[in-house]
Each structure stands twice: as C-alpha cells, then as structure tokens.
Structure 1
Amino acid sequence: MSAIKLYTFPLSGHSHRVELFLSLLGLEAELINLDLANGEHKTPEFLAKNPAGQIPVLEDGDITLADSNAILLYLANKYDAKRNWYPEDLLQQVEIQKYFSLAAGKLTFGPCNARLINVFGAALDKSFALTISHSFLTLFNQDLANKNWLVGDKPSLADIAHYTYIAHAPEGDVSLEQYPNVTTWLTRIEALKGFKPMQKTQVDSSNK
C-alpha cells in the first residue's frame, strides 16, 4: 500500500490538480473518495486533518497537508529530483507563484464558480462568474500567444494549477471556442506522459 494518501472527490477540480500531478510524477497514491453529499468532509475525523473541512488533503507518512497548490509545491520539492516542475531558477519560481495567485483568484471566481453553479447548484452569481471567466480567458489566451507553456520552455506547476478548471469550463457554460491558444495548450497537457483526466460531468440544466 502506498505511503501517500489523497482524500479527494471525483468531481473536484482542486483534487484533480493533485491527482494529475501525482500521475505525471509516476507516484502511487491511495485515493480516498469522500462522500461530500453526506458531509463526510465535516466529520470530526476529517476536520482533524483539515479544520477547514475542504478537500484535497494529502497524507505522506506523518505529514498532512491541505490546499491543492501547497500540495503541488510539496510534491514537486520532495519527489521531482530534476526540478522540472518547480525549477530552481528564482524568476521562474516567482512566475509560478504569480500563476498560483491567478488560479486562486480569477480562475476560481470565473470558470470554477461557473461550473460549481451548473454542476452542484451553488448559490453564486452566474452572470458575474461568466464575465470574470471571459475576461480571464482573453488574457490567458493572449499570454499563450507566443509560448507553449506558462512558465519557461516546459510544463510547470503553473500549468497544472490551471488545467482542470479551464478544461472543464464548458460545464459552466464557458465556451473555449474563441480561445485557440488555450485549447492548443490543453491538448499539449493532455499529451504528457502520465496524464490523467478528470471525469466529465453531465450538467443538470435545472441548476443553471
């Protein structure tokens, strides 16, 4: 049995970030799917792991970590000896941190929230989420106009942090058709050895 355990949920984009990166690193992990509908993430047992009651949570031996981007940094620093995903170059690290902030900001308030409304019936402002989504994707598309990857000349944690919610943005009624650089970038990630997709969601139109 793997020493790494990941508490996750099949439709969680934040959890998929970590699952994807574990797969790209070739690391085995025990995936523990929580029953969110019945509040398993709010039980005393789970709250002892993450008082915020949120997934993902990663256990690696006696280390317990929450927050998907923090987990990505941990895995890259511990298990990527060649420093491909989080380079030692300071300026590239700064760029990756910039993209982490973008993922926690406009990506979350845009494509992520639009999808939450459709898939889970979240009580959020759909119009606002769509406006943020297209503003974000317009700039993201421009950013990818003359490069294959977000930071440097190969994929990094910046790409992993953004992939899932952009790839599944159409589940929140955010079309990617007008963002060709973005869709080409998604295809590059999906061609990486070890790529693992997140299952697609059949959207309930009553949640729109």
Structure 2
Amino acid sequence: MKLYDLEPSGNCYKIRLLASLMQKDLELEAVDFLEGAHKRSPVIDLNPWGQVPVLVDGEVVLRDSQAILVYLARQYGGHAWWPEGAAQQGDVMQWLSTAANEIQNGPGAARLVDKFSAPLNKPQALAVNDGILPLLEAHLSQHDWLALGRPTIADIAVFPYVALAHEGGIDLSSYTSILNWFERIKALDNFIPMSGI
C-alpha cells in the first residue's frame, strides 16, 4: 500500500497517523510539492485534482484525506475506528466534514498563510477559526473524544490542523479541553508525531 505523501501536510499526516495507530505498513512516496511533482505523472494520473495525499492499495486509488481515512478504517480496522451503525457513522462523519470545512478553512488556512506564504485571506481564516475553536472546546469539555466516547477517525481527521494552529499564529493556551484532548491522542499506542506536533 503506497501513500503519495508530503511531510508538512496535515492531511497526509492524518493517513500516516491512522496507519501507525492500526499498525498498518505504508510505503511512503515523497512528492516534491515545490517542484510541482503533484502536477505531473504519476500523481496527476492518479489524482486529476493534483493534490496529495493519494493512496494506492492494489486496484484501489483514493484521493482526499477524509475518504482515505474511511477506507483504511473500514478495510483494515474493523469497527474500531469506523463504526457499523448508521447513526454512529453519521456521528463520525459530521466531524470529518468539520475537518474538511471549518478546520481546513480556519486554522489550516491561517497556517498556510504564515508558514507557506499561501495567497489566502488570513483575516477570513481567523474569523472561521474564532467560530470553530469555541465549539470544539465546548464539545471536548463534555466528551473525552469527538464521537462515540472513544477514539475514531473523527479525532484523527480534526486533530492535525488544530494541533498545528500555532503555526498560523493562533494561541490555544486558553483552550484547556482541546489541549487535554491533544494529550489523550498523543498517549494512544503507536502514536507518531509530525513536525510541529
């Protein structure tokens, strides 16, 4: 199983982290983003969007970190990371949507501006951030995990760009429930870090 990977990408890290937590081997294929390798073969052939991560597992080729998380969790993790019931799947899925929307466009976008000089609107990213972090803090003040009372891919999807928020100039020091959640994730067996986390 091969992952076309970019080390500083939180979306790629989600996949590396879940694979490690499940003790599933990944062959990492580094993509030289600065040299435009994501816009050339083989990446562009596998993902016409020209983005990473891309997962290749036999005949299965998937783009988008949330979709890859669902696939890996269901294919190799049984129901430990991705539940069976419809309501339970919906509970997890709403957090995957949050990761792809508010987290990506809030702390994720602020980090892209500060760390990589991305041509994004940082005030808009901070406004999104200021909306989502209090909601996340309130939820985690009542729950140890985002969904189902246990670690799931909901936590793996949301964690990276919130944990990297400091790289976008966002101060998390007042969000004690979020910081405690970080520590619970880091305490999971086979947790692996990335630069900045």
Letter of the 1:70 partner, please give it: A
Equivalent residue, structure 2, for 1:181 = 177
Conserved? CA contact 1:15–1:68, under 8 Å: yes
The residue correspondences of 1:185-200 to structure 2 (distance < 5 A) are 185-200=181-196
The number of aligned residues is: 197
- Equivalence for 1:143: 139
Q: 2:93 aligns with which of 84, 90, 97?
A: 97
**C-alpha distance in 2, partners of 1:44/1:158?**
32
Equivalent position to 1:121, from 117, 122, 144: 117
Matched residue type, 1:62: E
Match for residue 156 of structure 2?
A: 160
Letter in 2 for 1:87: P
Aligned partner of 1:70 in structure 2 is 67
Q: Which residue of 1 aligns with 2:27?
A: 30
Q: CA deviation at 1:152?
A: 1.2
Task: Give 4+ residue runs of structure 1 displaced > 3 Å after superposition.
Answer: none
Q: Name the amino acid aligned to 2:30.
A: N
Alignment counterpart, residue 2 of structure 2, candidates 1, 5, 26: 5
Name stretches of at least 5 consecutive residues in structure 1 with no aligned partner: 202-208
Structure 2 length as normaliser, TM-score? 0.97
Is 1:53 the equivalent of 2:44?
A: no
CA RMSD of aligned residues (A): 1.1
Equivalents in 1 of 2:73, 2:167: separation in Å?
29
TM-score by length of 1: 0.92
Structure 2 gap ranges (5+): none
